[in-house]
Structures are given as structure tokens and as C-alpha cells.
């Protein structure tokens, strides 16, 4: 046979030791009768041997690395918790805290000025909603709870914003594939 | 001392965990130096085969060890240390290749180049070694990384999948298509004849 062979994928798996005994025997039988596959195996083995040609590590490589480590402090990670926190719960905890702070600001009496500004904005939105002829009862409910709605919308927005910022900032050290 | 790219990783596997622990506990530079000695050759091999740039691969290998030192605390023993290190090397090499490509594109756009391409200070000794690099240079990602990691011999499909952040099925696919393309190119170029 001097063209491609359907067995090719299995031959590669066989070369990698990925087949069980029965499949391996089957591939071995096939190899005995298929010149194309035998040539593929030989060629791939040759390429793989050449791959390991002696690549020279320059003299002083190790010393160079050790010199460059001067002044670099390894990140102390106790059982990996620091990294885990950095990319896991810390941003969420901060976001929750930020959300609580925002909600508190709008709940306390002294925060009327700020909440009024938001309230004005929400009033404008309310007129738009009104112009859409949403049932009156529903519109009034919105109007009566503008401060709370503003507070919660702001808190949620802050939470989403903070979380997305934290995610974009995080930089897994060595496990980030192509997007490193 | 001559080091085998694939063999050193296997030989060193038994002592890696202890060395890592010593570095983590007391920032023991001697232990880290042993790690560098042990893995400099396979790391250089990955870097060079992925980029085809010798000077660049020295820099990549150094950066790999520096990152390993800095972030060793995030290493988890559920992955072999060598795989963890190779993952850093592969990422560094991909970054380097990307930067080099962009830089070349920029250079080519400049009309008045005063000098020719940089000559490498090191040349592979055999025709086969040069040819294998020219074949690998033709491979696209992610096939290239998969094939190179597999050629490291010591790495299983599962380890490759963890290094590449993909499934074992994807690794199988990358390896099949990558090697098939490699063989097609080799046949077309009368490889080794």
C-alpha cells in the first residue's frame, strides 16, 4: 500500500502505548502487512531521534540563572492558599464588602444628598418608564422605593465591576496557556 | 556532563519533591541550583524546538527558572514537578514566539534595513536536527506544542493535557493531526534521504 491508511491514528496510539493488548496485537498484525504504516512509523521514529539532537546549554547558564535570582523573593505560599485566595475568594469577599458599604451609605440618614442625586437620575428613568405606559400601580411602587432601588442597583453594579476588574487583574503564574 | 532531554526528567523525578520542599521552607538556593542543573537541558529543548531561536531559547529557559523560583509556592504535587516546569517553559516560548513574530513583522515593514538577519551563534550539528526544526517550524499551534511535548517522551497524554489546559481527547487529536502533517512534510521534503 503506498497511500494513506485508515489505521494511521491507531498506529500513532500504538506507538504511544495507548492501546490495550488486544488492539496492540491488531495493530501489530496490520503493520506486518501495511508498508505505508511501517514507513510512517520509521519516519516518525527518525524525526523523534533527530528531535533530541544535542542542544547545547551555554556555559554559565546555571550561574546566570542563580545570579538573576538575587533580590527576587519567592512568593511565600502556605499550601497554595495565597494563590488560591488571590484568584478565588478574595475578590468576591472584597466585592461583597463593597456592596455592603454601598448599601449602608444609602440606608443611613446622612446619605440623603447622595441618594437624592441618584434619585434624580432614577426619576428621569421613571418618567421614561411612565411614558412606556407601564401599569400605574407598578410605576408608583418603583417611585416609592427609588432610594432602595438606586442603592441596590449601585451595589450590584459595584460588585460586578469589582469582580470583573479582579478577574482581569489576576494572572495565574504559569498555568495560563496561550493567553499568558 | 551530557544530559538526555527525556531521561533527566525521569531520573530526577524521585528527588524533585524534596528539593522543592527545601526551597519553599528555607529558600534554599543550593536545592534550586540542583533543579536548574537537572532541568536546564529539557527546558532548553522545549524552548528551542518551539521557537527555533537559540539565543531566544537561552533567555526563555532562564526566565522559566526565574518564574519557577518566584512562584514555586503555587506548585501542587498532584502534577509532576517536571510537567509544571515544562508548562512554564512552553508558555514562555509561546510568548517569545509571538513577540518575535510581531517584531519581525515590524522590521519587515521598515524599508531601510541596514543589516541582514541575525546569525545564530550555535548551529545544530546534524542535518537531521536542522531538518526536524524546519518541519516543526511549519506546524501551527496547538499541534506544535503537543507534538514537541510528546517528543519529550517522558510526558504522558494526561500530562500534556494538563500542560496545555485541554482534554486528553484534544491531545489525541492534536497529536494525530500534528504528526500526520509533520510526516506529510517530511515525505514531501524527502526527509533523511
pLDDT tens-digit readout, B123-166: 555 666 778 888 888 889 999 999 999 998 768 999 999 999 99
What SS3 string covers B114-156? CCCCCCCCCCCCCHHHHHHHHHHHHCCCCHHHHHHHHHCCCCC
Task: Note whether A175 and A95 are same-domain residues.
Answer: yes
Q: Kindly give, in sequence order, each residue whose CB lies less than 8 Å from that of residue A85, ignoring residues fewer than 6 positions away.
A: none
Q: Report yes or no on A29 lying in a domain.
A: yes
Instruction: Count CA atoms within 13 Å of residue A141 on its CB side.
Output: 5
Q: Is the CB of B2 inside 8 Å of chain A's CB atoms?
A: yes
**CA–CA distance, B193 with B183 (Å, rounded to integer):** 14
> How many structural domains does chain A have?
2
Nearest residue of chain B to residue A172 (CA atoms): B74
In chain A, what residues touch B76 (CB-CB under 8 Å)?
80
- Taking the alpha carbons at both ends of chain A, their separation in whole angstroms is 45
Which residues in chain B (100-119) have CB-CB distances under 8 A to chain A? none
Task: Note whether A116 and A161 are same-domain residues.
Answer: yes
pLDDT value at A146 more than 50: yes
> How many structural domains does chain B have?
1
pLDDT in tens, B75-119: 888 888 999 999 999 999 998 887 777 666 655 555 444 444 434
Record the pTM. Answer: 0.63
Q: Report yes or no on B193 lying in a domain.
A: no
Q: Report yes or no on A72 lying in a domain.
A: no
Nearest residue of chain B to residue A53 (CA atoms): B129
A vs B, Cβ pairs < 8 A, gives 151
pLDDT in tens, B30-78: 999 999 999 999 999 999 999 988 899 999 999 999 999 999 988 888 8
CA A117 to the chain's CA centroid: 37
Range of the domain at A25: 8-51
Nearest residue of chain A to residue B34 (CA atoms): A62
ipTM of the assembly?
Answer: 0.75
Q: Report yes or no on A110 lying in a domain.
A: yes
Task: Note whether A47 and A107 are same-domain residues.
Answer: no
Q: Report yes or no on A174 lying in a domain.
A: yes
Amino acid at each position: 500500500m503506498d497511500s494513506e491508511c485508515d489505521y494511521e491514528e491507531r498506529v500513532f496510539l500504538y506507538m504511544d502505548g495507548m492501546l490495550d493488548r488486544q488492539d496492540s496485537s491488531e495493530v501489530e498484525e496490520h503493520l506486518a502487512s501495511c508498508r505505508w504504516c511501517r514507513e510512517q512509523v520509521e519516519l516518525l521514529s527518525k524525526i523523534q531521534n533527530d528531535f533530541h539532537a544535542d542542544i547545547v546549554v551555554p556555559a554559565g547558564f546555571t550561574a546566570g540563572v542563580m545570579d538573576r535570582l538575587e533580590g527576587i523573593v519567592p512568593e511565600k505560599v502556605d499550601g497554595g492558599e495565597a494563590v488560591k485566595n488571590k484568584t478565588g475568594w478574595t475578590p468576591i469577599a472584597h466585592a461583597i464588602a463593597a456592596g455592603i458599604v454601598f448599601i449602608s451609605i444609602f440606608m443611613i440618614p446622612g446619605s440623603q444628598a447622595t441618594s437624592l442625586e441618584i434619585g434624580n437620575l432614577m426619576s428621569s428613568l421613571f418618567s421614561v418608564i411612565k411614558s412606556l405606559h407601564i401599569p400605574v400601580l407598578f410605576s408608583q411602587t418603583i417611585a416609592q422605593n427609588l432610594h432602595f432601588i438606586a442603592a441596590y442597583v449601585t451595589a450590584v453594579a459595584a460588585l460586578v465591576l469589582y469582580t470583573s476588574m479582579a478577574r482581569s487583574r489576576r494572572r495565574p503564574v504559569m498555568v495560563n496557556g496561550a493567553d499568558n | 556532563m551530557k544530559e538526555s532531554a527525556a531521561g533527566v526528567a525521569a531520573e530526577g523525578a524521585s528527588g524533585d519533591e524534596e528539593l522543592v520542599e527545601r526551597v519553599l521552607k528555607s529558600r534554599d538556593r543550593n536545592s534550586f541550583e540542583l533543579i536548574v542543573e537537572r532541568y536546564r537541558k529539557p527546558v532548553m529543548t522545549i524552548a528551542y524546538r518551539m521557537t527555533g531561536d537559540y539565543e531566544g531559547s537561552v533567555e526563555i529557559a532562564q526566565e522559566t527558572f526565574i518564574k519557577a523560583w518566584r512562584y514555586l509556592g503555587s506548585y501542587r504535587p498532584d502534577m509532576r514537578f517536571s510537567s509544571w516546569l515544562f508548562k512554564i517553559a512552553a508558555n514562555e516560548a509561546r510568548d517569545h514566539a509571538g513577540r518575535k513574530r510581531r517584531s519581525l513583522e515590524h522590521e519587515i515593514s521598515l524599508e531601510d534595513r541596514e543589516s541582514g538577519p541575525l546569525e545564530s551563534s550555535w548551529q545544530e550539528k546534524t542535518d537531521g536536527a536542522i531538518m526536524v526544526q524546519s518541519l516543526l517550524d511549519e506546524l501551527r499551534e496547538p499541534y506544535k506544542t503537543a507534538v514537541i511535548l510528546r517528543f519529550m517522551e517522558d510526558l504522558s497524554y494526561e500530562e500534556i493535557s494538563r500542560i496545555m489546559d485541554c482534554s486528553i481527547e484534544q491531545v489525541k487529536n492534536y497529536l494525530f493531526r500534528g504528526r500526520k502533517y509533520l510526516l506529510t512534510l517530511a515525505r514531501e521534503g524527502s526527509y533523511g534521504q
